[in-house]
Structure 1
Amino acid sequence: MNHEYIRAQLKEAFIQNLIKFLRATKAFLDALSESGAACVSRATAIKFLLARKFDVARAHALWRQHEATRRREGLNKFEPFEDPLKSELETGKFTILPTRDGTGAAIAVFTANKHFPTQTTHQTTLQGVVYQLDVALQSVDTQRAGLVFIYDMTDSKYTNFDYELSQKILTMLKGGYPAKLKKVLIVTAPLWFKAPFRILRLFVREKLRERVHTVNAPQLGLHVPRASLPKQLGGLHEPDHAAWLEHCKNCFTNNLQNAKLDGVIDEYVISNHIPPIKPQNGIIEHEGACDMTSDRATRLGDNKTDMHISGDPPYTCDPSPLRHKHGYNGDTKARHINSGDEEDVDISTRGTWSSGSVSPGLSDEECGGGGAGAALSPAALLARVRELGRRGLVAEYEDIRARPPHGTFHNAKLPSNLAKNRYTDVLCYDHSRVLLSQTDPDDPTTDYINANYVDGYKQKNAYICTQGPLPKTFGDFWRMVWEQGSLVLVMTTRAVERGRVKCGQYWPLAAAQRAVYGDFAVTTEAVEQEDDYTITHLLLTDLRRAQSRRVWHGQYTRWPDYGVPGGGSAQPVLRFLLLVRRAQQRALHELGDAWAGHSRGPPIVVHCSAGIGRTGTFLTLDICASRLAAEGALDVRGTVERIRAQRAHSIQMPDQYVFCHLALLEYAVMHGYLDSADLAGFDDENEEESE
């Protein structure tokens, strides 16, 4: 590839985005000036612009809403070193963790059982929340990646709940605060919370509603890595709230000094800036101490903050509001001139997800079902398949397969986990693996199962790809199904094929039979036998809590190992695919208000024997079909590349890659996207046997 061309393209993108960045900032400040608003700093302007993707009109509207909220709730004047705010902060009911989620978003936790509505006012509680959020938002990483808000209701009582306060916090975060609210996670919500929660959801936009999830503690792993969670939520981290408050105090004091020296009182900015970070496994790692190079730093002297927490990275202040150092990964950096100083600026021009990049931090909207390649209309896909022929598609697949792995397999290779893998050469990635609850506090490997999350079409973690369970992992498998809230299981293998065991019999075959696997009982309620598949209706019971849930199990029985469904047509597989989707919709409908996550429901568990070949093929068909229905276009190669970045070696054989193309063309004809799909000559000069 021409490196000079790439550099020229990057330079051009940099210039264009820099111009856009400067113009947007000036337009925002001009709009505030024309409206008679108080003078604000450039850093504050950038916060609001980042929160609205540099749409000046929307950023200005956010500013107006933000100011109205602050005036209405008395959030303009803070006295954090005096009561009642001082005592409110010291309760620790609200804190910002020194860790981040997999996307780089900051994590805020509100612990409900520490809140007593009769002992504090809404104004004081909101001041405590905003005071800390303002400090967290000084990090450009937080501005760029957003915020995850965890409302921990563990061990809380009705007397701890304040409906009006909850509404105010949610209303402020959704439309009156300059931060991207990525998710609201309500943890271990009690039964009495169901009614007020149903009402609360009415106060948020539909797009945000899909980001509000009610989960139990083990399910938090769907959203936040365990390494980033505090121990109170089943994580591995022990945050030091006192150290965080000390950091807030130093930042608050520094900012007041800066404001006096600058002669500009920006009422919004009450704190200084947290330095750039590099999230690794969810934990913040600072690049170093503060590098104060501006004139302001010269006037103040060396204000480096070095407050180390035992075992944790230090909280530090950084008065450079837009210093953000990272490599190019779809984001373009610009150099911004601010008071004579050059600073790295993330101008939030996110590029497309590229093949070969592991991107566990994609949002639902970014899970478009493709990679770097452009999506094709069905007619364009047909033309491409005709042009390449079978040999060309096989060559394309071999190019994909020749690439090195997209991640590491350290957990799968641990001695205590090796026996849990069905095949020694089919391991699961560390970065996307499904974490089970740890059943033995002295054995961290009890969280392991050979399973990975895979994104669907505009749905983060839409699937769980796993191997066919082994007898020794039956209990782990059902524990995973329970903890992940899965309602639909897809099995694309028979238990025994060609005289070899491909999967253990992990559920009772006959109706009315019951079997116990570890802490879970599985009862077969009904069986529907068809020519190409078998549907089994199961009742899964958690014996520890005496709670039950119905699970739909679909087994496709005419799909040979290392191959593709025969018969000259993909229609049986496509009909099965539709059956799976309908089962998920029915199960989701039965849940009703009990499910507050993505509109497509919890992860669908898909497995064959190894969990890569037939499993990857099924996912490719489902994702591409969903995208075709929504956009009228699809990207087979990009989808395969993306799946392989989360579940290693998915689409195991060339014939499976070819089958995906042919089946999707057949799907397009079945659903009226194409009148016909003439592939005469497709197999010419391609008489090779399938592997």
Structure 2
Amino acid sequence: MEDMASHLTSREEQAVKEFIETVNDLRLRRNAGPLSWNTAVKFMMARKFDVHRALALYEVHEITRVREGLIRFDPINEPLKSELETGKFTVLPTRDSTGAAIAIFTANKHFPIASSHQVTLQGLVYQLDVSLHSVDTQRCGIIFIYNMIGSKYVNFDYELCQKILSLLKGAYPARLKKVLIVAAPLWFKAPFKILRLFVREKLRERVFMVNVPQLSLHVPIASLPRELGGIIPLDHNAWILHCLKSNTNCNGDLCDISSLPTSPSSGMILYQAYEVLMQNGNSPLSDGETDEPEDFTSFVHEKHNSEKREKEVEVLKQKQDTVQSPCLSGPDILLEERNGINDPILPSANYEEDLLEGGTKTDMTLEEFIQHLCKLGRKGLYEEYADIKSKSLEGTFNIARLKHNQPKNRYSDVLCYDHSRVKLMFPSDDPSQDYINANYVDGFQQKNAFISTQGPLPKTFPDFWQMVWEQEVLLIVMTTRTIERSRAKCGQYWPKQKESSAEYGEFHIFNNGVEHFKDYVVTQLVLTNLKTDISRVVVHMQFISWPDYGVPHSALAMLTFCDKVREQQVQALQVLGSEWKGHPLGPPIIVHCSAGIGRTGTFITLDSSIQQLEATGTINVRGTVERIRFQRAHSIQMPDQYVFCHLALLEYALSRGLLQDVDLSGFDDSDSESE
């Protein structure tokens, strides 16, 4: 391996020292060995010697390696040996005019049924690790060519493409200079148009769809293989032999398994690193476009907003003695005060009729929906969301604000409406006894299809399970982890390990089995009422691939999860048979995240919109969001969540064959009509 010290300026050396000191301090606390200088330089090179961004990359890189099984490589044994021999991925011995390395993925050599994501990614990362030994590659970056010449639909793996893009841009210590998609077939272009909208803007600018002659505009012909219109012979076997000689430890030097977090959700490395840097007087990230993963920027964003929100809530508390108004979140409070609105707006008398009719004047066909998106663009949807958010809240929060009930709210500014709240059953009519931070939310043509609630607190575990029992719930959907970025998002209200149990109040919960999937976990729970000794089965489905204060990089995983949720509800109803006398779609599905408004509202919006699309062929995202917010205040917490729902529905329509193609060119243009 090349010595890095002689290639660095004094400023760069100082930045590397700061990075390695911070990282090694954290590794020492976990009894892990020190990070090598050369490895530290790779992370710093990838983020232009910005210590904050390099630390963020360091964390997400290790988490990704654990999640995808990219820790140990065994290139001389199966299955990795055969994967490397296919030659589907290789790194050329040449470079482009800027000095960037050139990596090629040949799509027609990839067969998803024969090679798992893990093995395919192992083959790719194993070779990239070797390529990154070069100082030139570290400093000049990598050009990634996705060669689709002669490929068919059977070779295509949408989710793998998304994983490779996410890995190279946000989770691997190398600069991704360009992604060149060569000779893309027609069947690829439609899903790709949706996929690229989930990719951050800075990466979208570096993705080009070209034919073979156009490829020479990006990479010199002298640097391309003959298969791509160049002049060099491609000798993949020689490259693999070089890899075997260069990477004899089979672990690479980028991922030290002794230092990896025990859980991909721990977030401890980043959190502690950030605190150390702030103590040393470094400023947080700028507000400009950056390359770090969204989790890091959202951590800083969340920290700032939490402090701001606390101040705004204090202002509200000081005014509550003189002004009786609904309890609003900080920004909404200020908006309402500017508009001079003091009295709550009561629910519309025609709301239930509108719901059960299942259609409104703003419903759109798929063609109209696409035209709507093209007209508004991303910025226009942001403005549409801002308009929704600016509307006055349609109800009161009197019960949630009672002194005895305030400790039952996870967040002091996320309360539940009086008119749609779920009431627990108690002998008396005392509202301090029947309160739980939960609201009924209607689905498409189904009243009370969901219960939207906060992540239970330890003090409310008994209340939560009482609600599950009284509402005859069959299914709980959880869209958060209990701990995210070292902060409690939800209590561990169910026994996590198989064949373990717990008791909360009058209820005994037994874990009868756990199934782990890539993006979610399914747990079979047996809920027993200790007073009556009657038991019921409740299924707990936890989605684990959704970042807090953000949206997934692709809707594919969430769409799959939505399907599984509906399948599970149907299966549970079939088991009940004639015992269930209520709505044909079953009792309410409990949905929660941490506050019960952001990811929870997004899930319910997406599920309800899918039901409407399947039943009527129409879509009305805005109307759906407005209906949900009418019952659970502030649902859909961020504009990106609102945009995500629109793009996810397009992805759903494409995946189900409801659309053959879609053109959203200009959706992200700065000069769209929405400005």
**Shorter-normalised TM-score: what interval?**
0.3 to 0.5
Q: What is the TM-score with the length of structure 2 in the denominator? A: 0.47
Looking at secondary structure, tell me which structure has more helix per residue. Answer: 2
